[in-house]
Structure 1
Amino acid sequence: MTVTANDLVGTLSGTTAHGLALGFAFIFVGSLYVSNHTRLSFDHNVKVSVGGYQRIKQNNERWRDDPDVIRARLAAVSIASVICCAIVGYLLSDLTHSKSSGEVFKLAAKHLGFASAGPILSHLVTPVLFLGPLYAMFLGGDLPFQQHWDCEREGAKFTSWIGIRSYIFAPFTEELVFRACVCTVYHISGTSTSRMIFLTPFTFGVAHAHHAWDTYNRYGRNTEALKRAILGTIFQLMYTTLFGFLATYIFLRTGSLLPAWTAHAFCNVMGFPNIGWELQAYPHRRKQIIAVYLAGVVGFAFVLSRWTFTPDSIFWFPSP
């Protein structure tokens, strides 16, 4: 008898799901430190200046934006992502007692969001939320094919190692592990969609805390650098967790990894909205900027459930 996704719900304990979720995070983040090629190194003998500025990189140091470090880390998180997916596959095989690798593969693809691309409109939900920043870019002539947009420069931005990591690879692998793998084990444990939306993103947020060490060293290893590292980590924890709420909702609602991936990539490209700077830069358009920001929030609330509805999502009840 063929086992369906619904047959598995409740076959895993909540404690086991928590342990697996933490294990996925440990495997992913830990992969960045298992090798000398992936680990960062800092010269602690360098005299640093104060003033809140990033210090000059030394030749004997390895920073996170160095091309060789990025390449090594991309390889490491690729292996880590495959391991996490393999654990999910083994779990499904064990719970279904299936001897058919093809059946387990299809079931794993369904849970991990590879079985469909999701509704086309689901990929536009996040851009609606960013209507305000997009309007500010329009005012500055920075949107594609406007006067300040340069095709060669923008192309280089996405094809550099930093761009490949930040806009393509990191969004995909992070969504695969922290969204698909984590949500899969919680779904199998019978965790409700609301609990998954509001609890699982904390794992994603905390997984970024290791960046504090990098910030502390790059900004001088002093009290000011420590404050910057702590505040930066808290801020990153907040916005990665907030984004995690959205990405988890999109993933569960669509049952597809692709919309969560494109949302993640889009947010990385846009960065955190800076309405204060935009109001100062375009004082003659202050009211319009505020109005478009509000329109984006209202529009986002209106389209979120409508544009992400997917009748065959295994994670959501079949009603809009």
Structure 2
Amino acid sequence: MIPSSIANITCISFVILYIAGFYLFEHSRNNGLKLSRQHPIVIKSRMKAVAISCVVITALLHIVLSLYLDNVSLQGTVTLLGLKMNLLPSNLWRVIGQPFLLTMTLFLGPLTILYFDNQLPGQNGFDIGKDVIQVFWSLHGQRNYVFAPLTEEYVFRSCMIAILHQANYSYSYLIFVTPLYFGLAHLHHGWEVYHQLGRTRQALQTAIISSVFQFGFTSLFGWYVSFLFLRTANLWVCVLCHSFCNIMGLPDISDIPHRPLRHRQVIWSSFIIGIVLFVCLLYPLSSVKDSLYWSL
């Protein structure tokens, strides 16, 4: 068993390693000007830095597991991290499909808005070339919908839960506390906002408000995907749900009052129905069969 102090220090180290790469390895200055995190040079350098950080984090994880656990094998570590890919077709729906459907229920309201706007796949307003291929092949798309979900879920879900589970922490701790590390890892955006807005008093207030909001949102999301990881012991479903949530973003309800009455009624009802469905289906659509972490 891993001592709780070592487990938590290791998780803090994961956060530091993940974030430090943003600033230690990026070359984000051009003619003395600080570039935005949205600039292609910054995106590329940060993706490289995070990739290196993930390698270092994996090495640290292996060292800690080897020191405190007996007979740590490559296959055992892969299973512990939820990286197993040899899912039988009959299990794909249970392990991947059902939790993804569960996630979609949370966005029933926004999906209904897209339906009325004729922008869902298969509708006339949906262009697969523009809305899918171009977006996913763009540098911003690769970062937001592929790279960030993969690396963040690997570090803040797989690695952290693997370590803390071996320290015999409870389900409640793994679900509600580990995402706080995930939230803390996003607080550095506030520092960037503060500098980009001129380091004024107003910039500080804006940075604090945005940081608090982002910390709360990322922690809430972290609770959900931590629950999914424990129930499924599968990293890939967490990555898929993370990517989907990034694609959908925060619901935009600003134009709902300007829509026809029937549309408004259906949209608001879909928000409520989506939440009710999510609560009712949370356990039925998240698998526990053969889960390494969750026992019935």
Question: So what's the TM-score if we normalise by structure 2?
Answer: 0.91
Q: Secondary structure at the match of 1:312?
A: coil
Query: SS of 2:214's equivalent?
Result: helix
Alpha-carbon distance, 1:151 to partner: 2.4
**Contact 1:41-1:63 at 8 Å conserved across structures:** no
User: What corresponds to 1:114 in structure 2?
Assistant: 83
Aligned counterpart, 1:212: 190
For 2:6, the equivalent position in structure 1 comes to 16
User: In the aligned structure 2, how far is the partner of 1:20 from the partner of 1:299?
Assistant: 37
> For the structure 1 residues 184 and 261, does the alpha-carbon distance in structure 2 shift closer, same or farther, using more than 3 Å as the test?
same
Does the CA-based 8 Å contact 1:42-1:217 persist in structure 2?
Answer: no
How far apart are the structure 2 equivalents of 1:226 and 1:141? 41
Deviation of the 1:61 alpha carbon: 3.5
Match of 1:35 in 2: 25
Unaligned runs of 5+ in 2: 88-94
Cα distance in 1 for residues equivalent to 2:75 and 2:64: 14
Q: CA deviation at 1:142?
A: 1.9
- The structure 2 residue matched to 1:201, chosen from 171, 179, 188, is 179
Cα 1:14–1:281 change in 2 (3 A) is: farther
Matches within 5 A, 1:265-304: 265-275=243-253, 277-284=254-261, 285-304=263-282
Is 1:133–2:80 an aligned residue pair? no
Q: 2:57 matched to which residue of 1? A: 84
Amino acid at match of 2:23: Y
Once the 2 structures are TM-superposed, how far is the Cα of residue 178 of structure 1 from its aligned partner? 0.5
Q: Aligned equivalents of 1:109 and 1:36: distance in 2? A: 30
Task: Give, in angstroms, the shift of residue 119 of structure 1.
Answer: 4.0
Partner of 2:135: 157
Deviations 1:216-244 (A, max 9, x none): 23334333322221111111001000000
Counterpart contact for 2:25–2:46, Cα < 8 Å? no
Query: Aligned-residue CA RMSD in angstroms?
Result: 1.9
**Contact 1:125/1:303, CA 8 A, preserved across alignment:** yes
Distance of 2:260 and 2:210 partners within structure 1:
29
Shift of 1:149: 2.2
Query: How many residue pairs were aligned?
Result: 286
Question: Partner of 2:41 in structure 1?
Answer: 68
Percent identity of equivalent pairs: 33
SS of the equivalent of 2:10 reads: helix
Equivalents in 2 of 1:193, 1:303: separation in Å?
19
Structure 2: how far apart are the matches of 1:82 and 1:147? 44
SS of the aligned residue for 2:22 comes to coil
Return the letter of the residue paired with 1:151.
I
CA contact (8 A) 1:143 1:149 kept: yes
Partner of 2:90: none
Structure 1 match to 2:162? 184
Residues 135-174 of structure 1 show CA distances to partners (whole Å, capped at 9, x for unaligned) of 0111112222323322232221211111100110000000
State whether residues 67 and 161 of structure 1, in contact with CA within 8 Å, keep that contact through their aligned partners in structure 2.
Answer: yes
Q: 1:158 to 1:36 in 2, by over 3 A?
A: closer
Shift of 1:205: 0.4
Q: Describe the shift of the 1:229–1:191 C-alpha distance in structure 2 as closer, same or farther (beyond 3 A).
A: same
Within 5 Å, which residues of 2 pair with 1:215-230? 215-230=193-208
Q: Which runs of 5+ in 1 are unaligned?
A: 1-10, 44-58
How far, CA to CA, are the matches of 1:29 and 1:109 in structure 2?
24
Q: Secondary structure at the match of 2:37?
A: coil
Q: Residues of 1 paired with 2:190 and 2:171: CA distance?
A: 31
Provide the TM-score with structure 1 as the length reference: 0.84
Task: Give the secondary structure class of the aligned counterpart of 2:83.
Answer: coil
Deviations 1:282-312 (A, max 9, x none): 2422221111111111111122211111311
- Residue type at the aligned position of 2:256: L
